[in-house]
Amino acid sequence: MLMELIFIHSWRLIMFILKVSFYLVFVSFCLGDKILDYKEKQFYESDFFSYFPKSEWQKLNDNSKRENIFNGFVKQVSSVYEAVSLGLDLDPDIEKKINGRFSRLLVNEYYMKDFLGSVIPDGALYFCRKNLGKEVFVRHILVDSLSLASELVDSLALGKPFSNLASSFSNDPSVDKNLGSLGWVSLGQTVPVFQDHIFTTCLGCIEVVNSDFGFHVVVVDSVRSSSYSFLDKQEYDDYAFRFATGYISSPLKDLASKHDSLLLADVSFSVNRGVVTSFLDSVSSAVLKSENKSRSSVDFLALLNSFSGVFFEYKNNLYGGAWLANKFNDSFYNNVFFDDYEVFVRELSLLVLRDAVREIALNRGVDEGPSFTKQFGNIKRELLEKEYIKYLISSVSAPTKKEVENYYYKNEAEKFTNKSTGVPFGLKNSFASVESILLKDKQDQIKSSFYNSLKDENITKINKVWLYVN
């Protein structure tokens, strides 16, 4: 019985150790090396490569450049840490900014992925994913006619030197320098029709490719891995998608316009022309009655907020001026003003489109995708970094009257005297300027003090083995 208990406990201990070991290996695989400790917060390679592309980092052999980039990362993550510690991320105004950025990115990601993905030709994305990881060494001869191209194919088959034929017949402007050799070509460097052939032809085979430039007699000599093959899956797929969009033949503007028109019809968007026209008339009237007779003297949002009537219908709901005024009060808009019907309706359409697309994107889980998560993480960190620095600056007290007086009289001759007459400007006339100079100095000092604190190894511990190239 005792032996059985010992065995059971030993087995449980072994299983626990195996689970912990697996977890540590899994975390290490997903997150990479630990590269930084800031106070009690730990940061890993995955955190840094959200800040700076892994592919670009791996190319850097200059330690001073690596250090400068990494210092920027340290400044950002430490600022974000302090911002969160202070609860700045919960401040209503900052939350509003973050939510606004979230919505805009969501709409952008929908158009960049879902919309573009719907108009990429069948097979293009598969082709790009399949071939992105390689590059081919290509030689070509560019001619005007298919008959000449066919003759060149026959000549090459008979053993005529490619470079000689290229020099004699090719219309490529660079043929004198490259003798027909395009060198190593990776995906995205040539037009799709040419790309399709060079990435699918057999090594050493001679083909003729017809493009907008003419007829190409093409030979692929070699194949090797491209720099893209070393990317992680997310980056690899992102590049493949980007190159697949090159196969879209119709103008994107027309495709997007068709998509948006169908979407607006689907959500039952319709404008109440009479109300909108009446409102815009009141705006024009307010401008004419204003003292300066200019739009800057009219509070457009106040007029909109107080105007009664239904401006438009959307998803069987009715929307008035107060709702619009609230939307136009967003940081996305700056000094909003409309007095033209077509322009105003176009903006209403865009507003509704953004709202409709946001809902579609959320329903499709766009915000849960790795691309969105990475981008929004960067946006949020950049915003919180700026907000923390603003917090530091705003915490600086204004210079006292005594500080202003001391600075003025100490620097009167050098900074506050008319150079041509030699007459001082006087403390009263210079007070605001001195106050501004001293406040700026204090703000710079508090920023410098924060950044200098990051050099304290008790606060900031950097994995220098990882950072520097030996």
Higher pLDDT residue, 215 or 335? 215
CATH number of 124-247, picked from 3.30.70.100, 3.90.1170.50, 1.10.150.120, 3.10.50.40: 3.10.50.40
Q: Which amino acid is at 315?
A: K
Query: Residue 329: its pLDDT value, please?
Result: 87
Evaluate if residue 15 carries a pLDDT over 50.
Answer: no
For residue 290, name the pLDDT band (cuts at 50, 70, 90): confident
HEC assignment per residue over the chain:
CHHHHHHHHHHHHHHHHHHHHHHHHHHHHHHCCEEEEECCEEEEHHHHHHHCCHHHHHHCCCHHHHHHHHHHHHHHHHHHHHHHHCCHHHCHHHHHHHHHHHHHHHHHHHHHHHHHHHHCCCCHHHHHHHHCCEEEEEEEEEECCHHHHHHHHHHHHCCCCHHHHHHHHCCCCCHHHHCCEEEEEECCCCCHHHHHHHCCCCCCCEEEEEECCEEEEEEEEEEEECHHHHCCHHHHHHHHHHHHHHHCCCCHHHHHHHHHHHHHHHCCCEECHHHHHHHHHHHHHHHHHCCCCCHHHCCHHHHHHHCCCEEEEECCEEEEHHHHHHHHCCCCCCCCCCCCHHHHHHHHHHHHHHHHHHHHHHHCCHHHCHHHHHHHHHHHHHHHHHHHHHHHHHCCCCCCHHHHHHHHHHHHHHHCECCCCCCECCHHHHHHHHHHHHHHHHHHHHHHHHHHHCCCCCCEEECHHHHCCC
What is the rounded CA–CA span in Å between residue 243 and residue 124?
Answer: 9
What is the rounded CA–CA span in Å between residue 240 and residue 113?
Answer: 12
Helix 341-363 with 252-266: angle, nearest 10 deg: 80
Tell me the average pLDDT of the chain. Answer: 90
Q: What percent of the chain has pLDDT over 90?
A: 82
User: How large is the average pLDDT for residues 146-168?
Assistant: 94
Which of 196, 112, 138, 181 is closest to 366 using CA atoms?
A: 112
Query: Residue 2: its pLDDT value, please?
Result: 39
Evaluate if residue 293 carries a pLDDT over 90.
Answer: no
Evaluate if residue 5 carries a pLDDT over 50.
Answer: no
User: How large is the average pLDDT for residues 406-421?
Assistant: 94
User: How large is the average pLDDT for residues 408-422?
Assistant: 93
Evaluate if residue 457 carries a pLDDT over 50.
Answer: yes
Query: Residue 299: its pLDDT value, please?
Result: 93
- Residue count of the chain: 470
User: How large is the average pLDDT for residues 190-217?
Assistant: 93
User: How large is the average pLDDT for residues 102-119?
Assistant: 93
Evaluate if residue 8 carries a pLDDT over 50.
Answer: no
Domain boundaries, the chain: 124-247, 274-363, 396-467
What is the rounded CA–CA span in Å between residue 107 and residue 109?
Answer: 5
What is the rounded CA–CA span in Å between residue 268 and residue 313?
Answer: 7
Q: Which amino acid is at 52?
A: F
Evaluate if residue 233 carries a pLDDT over 80.
Answer: yes
User: How large is the average pLDDT for residues 7-28?
Assistant: 42
Evaluate if residue 20 carries a pLDDT over 70.
Answer: no
What is the rounded CA–CA span in Å between residue 436 and residue 430?
Answer: 10
Evaluate if residue 228 carries a pLDDT over 80.
Answer: yes
User: How large is the average pLDDT for residues 174-183?
Assistant: 92
For residue 19, name the pLDDT band (cuts at 50, 70, 90): very low
Q: Which amino acid is at 245?
A: T
> What pLDDT, in 10s, does the model give residues 26-49?
333 357 899 999 998 999 999 999
Query: Residue 283: its pLDDT value, please?
Result: 94
Higher pLDDT residue, 53 or 88? 88
Query: Residue 28: its pLDDT value, please?
Result: 39
For residue 261, name the pLDDT band (cuts at 50, 70, 90): very high
Query: Residue 30: its pLDDT value, please?
Result: 53
User: How large is the average pLDDT for residues 139-146?
Assistant: 94
Evaluate if residue 357 carries a pLDDT over 80.
Answer: yes
Q: Do residues 338 and 347 lie in contact, with contact meaning Cβ atoms separated by under 8 Å?
A: yes
Query: Residue 12: its pLDDT value, please?
Result: 55
Query: Residue 41: its pLDDT value, please?
Result: 95
Evaluate if residue 463 carries a pLDDT over 90.
Answer: yes
Q: Do residues 322 and 334 lie in contact, with contact meaning Cβ atoms separated by under 8 Å?
A: no
User: How large is the average pLDDT for residues 429-441?
Assistant: 96
Across 261-265, 335-339, 399-403, least confident range: 335-339
